[in-house]
Amino acid sequence: MSVSTLSAPAALVGSFTPDVFAAHLASLPPSLPGWWVARKRAAYARFASLPMPTRTDEMWRFSSIGTLTLDGFTLAAAAAAGPLAPSGIPEAARLVFANGRLVSRELLSTDLIARGVIVDTLHHALVHHDALVREHLLAQPLKLGSPKFAALHEAFLADGAFIYVPRDVQVDLPIGVCSHAIGATAAVFPHTLVVLAENARATVIEYFGSDDDTSAQFAAGANDLYAGHGAQLTYIGKQDWSHRALSIQSNSTVVRRDARVQSLNLHLGARQARHESLSRLAAPGAFSEMLALTVAEAGQEFDQRTLQIHEAPNTKSDLLYKNALRGTARTIFSGLIVVDPDAQKTDAYQSNRNLMLSDEAEACSLPGLEIQANDVRCTHGATSSRIDPEQEFYLQSRGIAKVQADELLTFGFFEEVLARLIDPDLHEALRLLIQTKFTK
């Protein structure tokens, strides 16, 4: 065997070699359905054959390609539960994962269990709710540029969260899912699948965190959110991986007739974090509100790619992504609104706003529209602004030091997004979560 045939696949798989994959498969419970194991094998083959993104890929325009790597990571079972994300938010139930294994949980009330609500591991759901999982798990098209990382996620997905709320049932308190990466070089593949049946209501809060802020970890995560006819789902994701982690997250949302999904992603951690978010407005009356807040510090890169697909008439999507950039931070926003030919009366918004807190920071924006219907209302825009010196002086003239004044102004900038939250109790809790980044 020549050196080149050996080295080519090594470059394509990095730490995730066929041996590592075989060990991963062997570690899975034997009860998992055959279709899932077959899908994982196929996913691994795709992962191993697909090239890494290159500088010329339009979907990776402005992204730092040279710092993407598959090397130096390990798959290891976590020895301990690790630190839990203290949210201060009362929850209906909670699942805590460490390196893809369930390490602790808070159960639903017996009343909600009796009404058919499920908050369980994907493993358990694959065995007991096979059809439901098969219909929704990683079922959406990959249109945002990471087929290789999506395949890697599917191949190595160990366990994740499965949340199901049956018809007409409302879960008042948020359901919490925590995914921890434990270990200096840990690779994790978190997944959360949420299915809301007709007229169901729920809020899901997902936390991503590391055991140590200096761990050079790797995360390839994904989630699937499905809101059935008339359902209302609020999803909050707080990404706070180690500041040396590489994270690639792919989220898919499907909104059915008259349903509403509100999602808010807080991006705080990782050295390089790519976040892909797809919303499909699949039936008339569907509404997807896509919100994101990013606090980007020196040396961090946040790369956000979004796609709003209007597949049916009278659908609405509203995207507002706000980034605050400090030091030498970089952010990239690339968003596309697609309106299918018969999606008349579409109402679609897309806005990316950047607050530049330093002269060295860099924000790139690529808003886009692709409209094939003729009776629609679509707007998009991107702005970058600096702290207004008169506002800063006003705060300083009240005794507030410049650093705190800029922090207050940043919170003021974020408030427009937080104020959109339907649940006012979440509002203050999220402010506190963001504040932790400032006081670090």
Partner 1 sequence: MSQLDIIDLHVSIGEKPIVKGLTLTIHSGEVHAIMGPNGTGKSTLSKAIAGHPDYGITSGDVLINGASILSQEADERARAGIFLAFQYPSEIPGVSIANFLRAAQQARMAEGEELDASAYYKRLYSKMDLLKIDRKFTSRSVNDGFSGGEKKRCEILQMAMLEPKFALMDETDSGLDIDALRIVADGVNTMRGPNLGVLLITHYQRLLDYIVPDHVHVMYDGRIVKSGDKSLALELEAKGYDWIKKELAASAA
The answer to the question of residue 429 lying near partner 1 (CB under 8 A) is no
Q: How far apart are CA 296 and CA 301, in angstroms?
A: 7
From the list 381, 386, 402, the residue with the least C-alpha distance to 337 is 381
Residue closer to partner 1 by CB (options 1, 419) is 419
Find the binder of partner 1 among 30, 88, 389, 424 (CB under 8 A): 389
Distances (CA, A) of 42 to 47, 137, 154, 193, 333: 9, 15, 9, 21, 31
Residue closer to partner 1 by CB (options 416, 423) is 416
> Using CB under 8 A, which of the segments 2-10, 136-144, 154-162, 400-408 binds partner 1?
400-408
Residue closer to partner 1 by CB (options 45, 387) is 387
What HEC string does the chain produce?
A: CCHHHHHHHHHHHCCCCHHHHHHHHHHCCCCCCHHHHHHHHHHHHHHHHCCCCCCCCHHHCCCCCCCCCCCCCECCCCCCCCCCCCCCCCCCEEEEEECCEEEEEECCCHHHHHCCCEEEEHHHHHHHCHHHHHHHCCCCCCCCCCHHHHHHHHHHCCCCEEEEECCCCECCCCEEEEEEECCCCEEECCEEEEEECCCCEEEEEEEEEECCCCCCCEEEEEEEEEECCCCEEEEEEEEECCCCCEEEEEEEEEECCCCEEEEEEEECCCCEEEEEEEEEECCCCCEEEEEEEEEECCCCEEEEEEEEEECCCCCEEEEEEEEEECCCCEEEEEEEEEECCCCCCCEEEEEEEEEECCCCCEEEEEEEEEECCCCCEEEEEEEEEECCHHHHHHHHCCCCCHHHHHHHHHHHHHHHHHCCCCCHHHHHHHHHHHHHHHHC
Least distance in angstroms from the C-beta of 430 to partner 1 = 14
The answer to the question of residue 398 lying near partner 1 (CB under 8 A) is yes
> Using CB under 8 A, which of the segments 13-21, 94-102, 144-152, 410-418 binds partner 1?
410-418
Least distance in angstroms from the C-beta of 324 to partner 1 = 12
Find the binder of partner 1 among 397, 424, 439, 440 (CB under 8 A): 397
Residue closer to partner 1 by CB (options 35, 393) is 393
The answer to the question of residue 391 lying near partner 1 (CB under 8 A) is yes
The answer to the question of residue 413 lying near partner 1 (CB under 8 A) is yes
Contact 187, 218 (CB under 8 A): yes
Contact 191, 221 (CB under 8 A): yes
> Using CB under 8 A, which of the segments 252-260, 286-294, 311-319, 385-393 binds partner 1?
385-393
The answer to the question of residue 388 lying near partner 1 (CB under 8 A) is yes
Residue closer to partner 1 by CB (options 409, 430) is 409
Least distance in angstroms from the C-beta of 390 to partner 1 = 5
> Using CB under 8 A, which of the segments 57-65, 70-78, 299-307, 383-391 binds partner 1?
383-391
Find the binder of partner 1 among 184, 369, 408, 429 (CB under 8 A): 408
The answer to the question of residue 266 lying near partner 1 (CB under 8 A) is no
The answer to the question of residue 421 lying near partner 1 (CB under 8 A) is no
The answer to the question of residue 17 lying near partner 1 (CB under 8 A) is no
The answer to the question of residue 52 lying near partner 1 (CB under 8 A) is no
Find the binder of partner 1 among 291, 324, 405, 430 (CB under 8 A): 405
Find the binder of partner 1 among 394, 422, 432, 435 (CB under 8 A): 394
The answer to the question of residue 386 lying near partner 1 (CB under 8 A) is no
Least distance in angstroms from the C-beta of 401 to partner 1 = 5
Amino acid at 276: E
Residue 394's CB is within 10 A of a number of other CB atoms, namely 13
The answer to the question of residue 387 lying near partner 1 (CB under 8 A) is no
The answer to the question of residue 430 lying near partner 1 (CB under 8 A) is no
The answer to the question of residue 15 lying near partner 1 (CB under 8 A) is no
> Using CB under 8 A, which of the segments 45-53, 158-166, 216-224, 403-411 binds partner 1?
403-411
Q: How many residues bind partner 1 (CB under 8 A)?
A: 25
The answer to the question of residue 401 lying near partner 1 (CB under 8 A) is yes
Contacts to partner 1 by CB under 8 A: 388-391, 393-402, 404-405, 408-409, 411-416, 419
